[in-house]
Structure 1
Amino acid sequence: MAAARQSEFEGVRMAGTALTTGTVARRLGVAPTTLRSWERRYGIGPADREQGRHRRWSPTDVGRVEEMCRLTALGVPPAEAARAALHEAKAEIPRPRRGGDSGALSLGNVRQECRGLARAAVRLDAPAVETQLATTVGEYGYTTGWEEVMAPALHAIGRKWASSGERYVEVEHLLSWHVSSALRRAPGAAPKDPAAPTPAGPVLLTCVPGEQHTLPLEALVAVLGERHVPTRMFGAALPAEALYEAVRRTGPSAVVLWAHSRNTADRALVRLITETEWGMRGARTHPAVLVAGPGWSPGAGTYGPGVERLTGLRTAANRIESLFAA
């Protein structure tokens, strides 16, 4: 039965706690307007409401809407899913289009917000994805929000796409676009004291030539913005000559080179940027060069003296912040 099945709401059901519409929406990854629409159209909603108070969702109410979310994520039409959930019966699940794909995402032990975000993405519910991302950033900030909500959801959908033929490409594209939009809404960096001069040049961040995977780099830019570290983000596949000119023109404190694949990790580019100089004759300086992403070999020292390899968003931001403040 839908109301009795094991789920992340089991603790709520055991305690008999009544939840607000907003709380249920966040945990399930459904926009509050979607819940209200389902209630209006299909009768899926809280059964009781005290006079003059907002509706509260009982454990049984939550079980029904959770079952409806599960079924619609598998492709069951909303009206049919609602009938099944209201009658606490199993709907006839459409046969998978390819090789036994069940539609389930393997998320493991993750935050409720991650499950909600992934479910909303699978349903292609863009308003719910936006709401979930805004709530995540508001509650946890960009570092924890990326590491524990956005990245696990993206990885789970990517794995599903890889194992399901051409299915879920649209889900990955939708989620990636909204995550990118959320990351770019991070506050712009400024000196902590607006009257004080900037202590060092900005940090340049770019994907190496041929590299298109920008989201981890966008997350790093967002976190550095929270920490008031000025950045210049060049995005995907910046040509080597263009990066060289950007380094000479901006005099950066550090340059971060992102490579997702070993095929794009370019040692020659690392050497070029390491040797790039700027400044007055007799007082020339070089940028700190940092390589990031799974495309680079673990031993960053093999790329030249002083080259460092960044691992993990939090440690990368800490290191860059220390270089900027030095």
Structure 2
Amino acid sequence: MDVGEVSGRSGPRAGGSWTPGMVAETLGVSPVTLRTWASRYGVGPSLRADGRHRRYSDEDVRRLQYMQRLIQRGIRAREAAAAAFSDVEDVVPEVPLERRIDELEQAAEELGFASLAAMLDETLDALGAASTWTDVLLPILRALGGRWLRGDVCFESEWALTTEVSLALQRYVGRFAKVPPERSVLIACCPDERHSLPVEVLRASMIEVGIPAIYLGQMVPGETMAGMASKLDPLLIVLWSMSANTVDDVLCQRLQRLGFEVAVAGPGWEGLNVRGAPWVNDLAGALDLAAERLNS
């Protein structure tokens, strides 16, 4: 059970005040274990109710959940407590990629939205957007795709994962200083394209390496996109399409006629050879192209 998933009579009181019994039930451990952790590692409740009774805050519980995950990864309890309750990044032990993948897959299968959010934040902090995508998320999404092909419908798991990835990327991007650039890369989906996660990753990957980027979102009408481009004057427009059914070469040509350099991205554009528009179909290629235009 997650912090964000407890409700009703068994949940915390207003203000995030958790009794030891609630926390023990949420973590699936005994109250004795909680008291042992508190006495040995100093990870007890941080709140006091009525001046006498100790209570756990939401942040206490999130840190205990993280500590528990580290213990499950084979890390000793003392080291796990130090990592979970310290703000020093060097204390956090390295986690094998396979373990991150397994934990995210399990959380998605269990529809553990709060666990997914915490794990994704942790993974983005540790690996960055580009590596999180290529080394962790793509293997999971490919495995889910394989399940679909075998007739194992896993829509709920995929929805939970992709929803939390999108939200985690927004939180991650928000941590970077925003100095208004003279010109940015404008990232947009073709108007009928709904699969936007790869370009959300692209935006985060650009921002983390210092390339100013703006992402317009899904299903932006071509007229609106052209108008926004005219006002923003981007140094490059990346126009994304996941499948041939959503490609809009007319929009691409319109943007080119307005004087903008356009790069087409995604498997939908494969083999179309749009005149004057380079095709990129991987994260590294898109980053290299944007960096080249930024520095030219």
Aligned residue in 1 for 2:17: none
Alignment of 1:64-75 (within 5 A): none
User: TM-score w.r.t. structure 2 length?
Assistant: 0.66
Aligned residue in 1 for 2:260: 287
| CA apart distance, 1:54 | 8.5
1:167-213 Cα deviation digits (max 9, x unpaired): 3211111111100001111335667xx5xx84x52211111021100
CA contact (8 A) 1:186 1:225 kept: no
Aligned residue in 1 for 2:10: none
For residues 225 and 142 of structure 1, the distance between their equivalents in structure 2, rounded to whole angstroms, comes to: 9
CA contact (8 A) 1:262 1:296 kept: yes
Gap change, CA 1:178 and 1:227, over 3 Å in 2 = same
CA contact (8 A) 1:118 1:157 kept: no
Gap change, CA 1:209 and 1:52, over 3 Å in 2 = closer
CA contact (8 A) 1:206 1:236 kept: yes
Q: 1:178 corresponds to which letter in structure 2?
A: E
User: TM-score w.r.t. structure 1 length?
Assistant: 0.60
For residues 144 and 179 of structure 1, the distance between their equivalents in structure 2, rounded to whole angstroms, comes to: 14
Give the 3-state SS of the residue equivalent to 2:246 in structure 1: coil
Matched, 1:182 2:172: no
- Displaced runs of 4 or more, over 6 A: 33-36, 54-57
| CA apart distance, 1:53 | 5.1
CA contact (8 A) 1:190 1:229 kept: no
Aligned residue in 1 for 2:4: none
For residues 131 and 247 of structure 1, the distance between their equivalents in structure 2, rounded to whole angstroms, comes to: 35
| CA apart distance, 1:36 | 6.5
Long gaps (5+) in structure 2: 1-22, 44-66, 75-95
Aligned residue in 1 for 2:56: none
Task: Give 1:207's match in structure 2, choosing from 181, 189, 193.
Answer: 189
Matched, 1:52 2:16: no
Long gaps (5+) in structure 1: 1-32, 64-108, 277-285
Aligned residue in 1 for 2:275: 304
| CA apart distance, 1:321 | 2.1
For residues 62 and 255 of structure 1, the distance between their equivalents in structure 2, rounded to whole angstroms, comes to: 43
| CA apart distance, 1:290 | 0.7
Gap change, CA 1:122 and 1:297, over 3 Å in 2 = same
More helix by share: 2
Alignment of 1:14-93 (within 5 A): 37-40=27-30, 52=40
For residues 139 and 170 of structure 1, the distance between their equivalents in structure 2, rounded to whole angstroms, comes to: 27
Gap change, CA 1:62 and 1:208, over 3 Å in 2 = closer
1:53-74 Cα deviation digits (max 9, x unpaired): 58999xxx889xxxxxxxxxxx
Matched, 1:321 2:276: no
Percent identical among aligned pairs is 27
Gap change, CA 1:209 and 1:34, over 3 Å in 2 = farther
CA contact (8 A) 1:133 1:179 kept: yes
CA contact (8 A) 2:280 2:286 kept: yes
Q: 1:272 corresponds to which letter in structure 2?
A: R
For residues 37 and 116 of structure 1, the distance between their equivalents in structure 2, rounded to whole angstroms, comes to: 16
For residues 121 and 220 of structure 1, the distance between their equivalents in structure 2, rounded to whole angstroms, comes to: 23
For residues 113 and 186 of structure 1, the distance between their equivalents in structure 2, rounded to whole angstroms, comes to: 18
Give the 3-state SS of the residue equivalent to 1:170 in structure 2: helix
| CA apart distance, 1:268 | 1.7
For residues 316 and 292 of structure 1, the distance between their equivalents in structure 2, rounded to whole angstroms, comes to: 8
Task: Give 2:147's match in structure 1, choosing from 160, 164, 173.
Answer: 160
Alignment of 1:238-277 (within 5 A): 238-276=220-258
Largest Rg, 1 or 2? 1
Gap change, CA 1:260 and 1:133, over 3 Å in 2 = same
Q: 2:224 corresponds to which letter in structure 1?
A: A
Over aligned residues, Cα RMSD in angstroms?
3.3
Aligned residue in 2 for 1:148: 135
